[in-house]
Chains A and B, each alone.
Chain A
Amino acid sequence: MSDSIRTSLDERFSEEPRAWSAGSGAFAHYDLDSGIYDEMFRPDGWPRESSRLLGAALARASSEDLAALQDGVARRFLHEGITFTVLGRRELSEQIIPIDCVPRVLTAEEWDHIDRGLRQRLTALNLFLADIYNDGRSLRDGIVPEDLVLGCPQYRVEMRGVEVPHGAYVSICGTDVVRTADGFAVLEDNLRVPSGVSYMLACRTAMKQAFPLLYRAHGVREIARYPEHLYSTLASLGSWGSSPRVAVLTPGRYNSAYYEHAFLAGEMGATLCEGRDLVVHDAVLYVRTVSGLKRIDVVYRRIDDDFLDPVTFRADSVLGVPGLFGAYRAGNVVIANAPGTGVADDKAVYAFVPAIIRYFLDEEPILANVETHMCREPEGLAYTLEHIEELVVKEVGGSGGYGMLVGSQASAAERDEFVRRLRADPANYISQPVLPLSRAGCFVDGRLEPRHVDLRPFVLRGRDRIEIAPGGLCRVALRKGGLVVNSSQGGGCKDLWVLREREEPN
């Protein structure tokens, strides 16, 4: 993007905003749906207060200006290698994540609600994990069915009785939050190796360069300190001095999130390691350096439990470190997130999170859950089979948009296949209603149109405090009418602007 385009775009934001509304002018193709919450417009077509300045600027911009801006951001991502890898498609191995140049705006009050809900949720989930790997009180009290937890593939018997530093089973969490006409709700918790935070930061950097004046005028809360907070969180988990040696454990450059692993390691000053770089000797973890072996104190692992340690978990893993779990159990190294946290983000256990919050915290959940039908139960299965066209069916252990069916958008053959799978192994599935995810303004194919969005804020839980970056990865289903926002499924992302204090911009 040339400086002249950027300047002309940005300076327009300082002009007196004219009246603008959905369905007219630059927003001529922006159709509202009464059943879907729109992030930019009120139901009557007039702009929400928080989007007033942004929309006014967009209304004045030409589609050529916006296209140039979008191209500039995409080119920058390409040159800087801000990419992800699509699973199983080597010819498309490196792709830039599509960026929409129109930010989504949340008011301080809206964010405060999300923030409190996320703190509550992560606190309860950590207590739940500590319980199921120790006393099992919540299982005996019937809060969550015992067989559901103990039979979950992500439940690690090896973790029973392991002393987890400061009870921080989950130190890094990415919770998917959606908004419907009824308000915010949690779609799923990602408690194993949540990804996407690097794109959140990259989007913000790009938008600050694209809209410096508008950004300042809005009073947007900063997220740039996330890597610093991540390092502090990881460092706080050990009992070493002020500068423990932190390693980011990556499966390697062919992993879909490799850019993020490298980015975070670089930003934190941590060592980016693959399993082959690490060695355990006398239950102590070391990294191979040119000056010999150096001790590692904290591992921020970005590989799944199964592959962490071939001695303890999958014997055929070549990604992990033999003996790592032994070093962890001996208290000589911290692993974040702890092995076995996946049991709490299993899609079947998800349905019990409100009960978990009530049980452990004696509080009502601040963020709602999405109605979930458990196919392991006869009535849940019957309902799912009967209403499959209206439901989203998900594998309980699935992620990344894989292993799921959106009934209304699937072909008859695809639905039949899922019916067959449901009948064969009902406990492996849950179903949820097709949510009318809120829509935000996007610049697609040269026009401003609404697209469905979700939000993944990132929550950090250290020794004694929780940090949440005021923002998140805002994912967009770029295909018109599409509801799947995963980047691996053709989704994109956009910046999320959380405003300071009041929704009235400066």
Chain B
Amino acid sequence: MLARAAADFYWMGRYVERAEQTARLLDYQLTRLVDTPAEELARGWSILYDIFGLAPPGLASDADEAEAFLIADAYTLAGAVVEDETRPASLVSCWGQARDNATQLRPWLPVQVWTTLNRGFLWLRDTEFAAAWAVGPATLVCEARDRLRLFGGVVDATMSRDDAWRFMQLGCFVERLQQQAVLLGTWDRSGNVSGGSPSAWWAELLRICDAYDFYCRNRSMVVRRDSALMFLVRNPELPRSLRFAVHQIGELLADIDPQGARYPLAPPHRMALHLAASVEMSPRGGEGRGDDIGDTFSTLLADSLSLHELAMATYVDYPVEEGLPA
């Protein structure tokens, strides 16, 4: 596997996953527009923008951010997350970046994968957000999610399970791990301050993570903070749990250099094992207490950033002397 191509596969996986996360969060917020009080909506936008690391559009330097979300209209706030190419988490930006990576990968990509991604890109590029908003913004986001799911299905059905696929999946799960750590940390910090049911607040988080039904079947319909967070951290069967992502990362890295030809245990793989241990062991004191779980999310995020750096240094940007045949 060409090193640069591996990096492109990795980034393509990251951007597609990031687009999926953006669409999912946007979908959640847009479906609440109809019957949610303005203050709660503003708070929703605030959390969403916080997760994306964005400032609200048109925010003056001395303005109060919370008030800005209250004043700004939903059309502007949603539009910035959908079609603003300058925002790294916007749908247009993610899709465009993923397609840029895919363009570099044409010889390695099944034509169906390229075509599905390209058709999605062309659809989004040619969509007029104003017209789509008039029809109903949720429709646009739903279609984006459908197209991303289709892409995932085509990848699953057509790509060989070789290093190309592994690096793409690695990118996907590293991105998921980071995004989920940020989402859980942000949600936990925001807390339930609206005076509504605490159970409903944490149930919303589970719904955003496509985990609510699964949680109810396994735990209870009454959702508590500690239980919900631990479920989203540790459940091994939930695709959006941190444990699931870390496990996948470890498996993928083990297969990328199965004979240990270059390293007995490659540095990123070592970091993946460390991450797995962190997820297993956290929060300190075990399930039920959850006092330190906020720290856990920031630690996991920092470690996943290190894992990214290590993967690039080990497989892509290594010094020539290290790469020469023995």
Contact = CB atoms under 8 A, between A and B. Distances in A.
B190 interface: no
Contacts, number: 83
A262 B2 contact: no
Interface string A262-304: 1101100011111011010100001111111111000000000
B114 A80 contact: yes
Interface residues of B, number: 32
B256 interface: yes
B261 A291 contact: yes
Secondary structure of the A side of the interface?
mixed
A274 B4 contact: yes
B107 A287 contact: no
B122 interface: yes
B115 A290 contact: no
A78 B108 CA distance: 19
B106 to A, nearest CB: 4
B115 A291 contact: no
Interface residues of A, number: 30
Contacts of B318: 288, 292
B106 A81 contact: yes
B8 to A, nearest CB: 10
B103 A272 contact: no
B261 A281 contact: no
A293 B323 CA distance: 5
B315 interface: yes
B104 interface: yes
Contacts of A289: 1-3
B207 interface: no
Contacts of A287: 2
A293 B325 contact: yes
Given A273-B2, A289-B1, A293-B325, A281 B320 contact: yes
A266 B261 CA distance: 27
B119 interface: yes
B2 to A, nearest CB: 6
Given A281-B320, A292-B323, A293-B325, A272 B118 contact: no
A201 B247 CA distance: 44
B27 interface: no
B121 to A, nearest CB: 10
A266 B6 contact: no
A273, A274, A290 — which one has the most chain B CB atoms within 10 A of its CB? A290
B83 interface: no
A81, A262, A279, A281 — which one has the most chain B CB atoms within 10 A of its CB? A81
A291 B4 contact: no
A259 interface: yes
A137 interface: no
Contacts of A294: 325
A89 interface: no
15 contacts: A80-B118, A81-B114, A271-B107, A272-B5, A274-B4, A276-B4, A281-B320, A288-B316, A289-B2, A290-B1, A290-B2, A290-B316, A291-B257, A292-B261, A292-B318
Given A290-B2, A291-B1, 8 more contacts: A79-B115, A81-B114, A266-B106, A286-B323, A288-B3, A288-B316, A293-B324, A293-B325
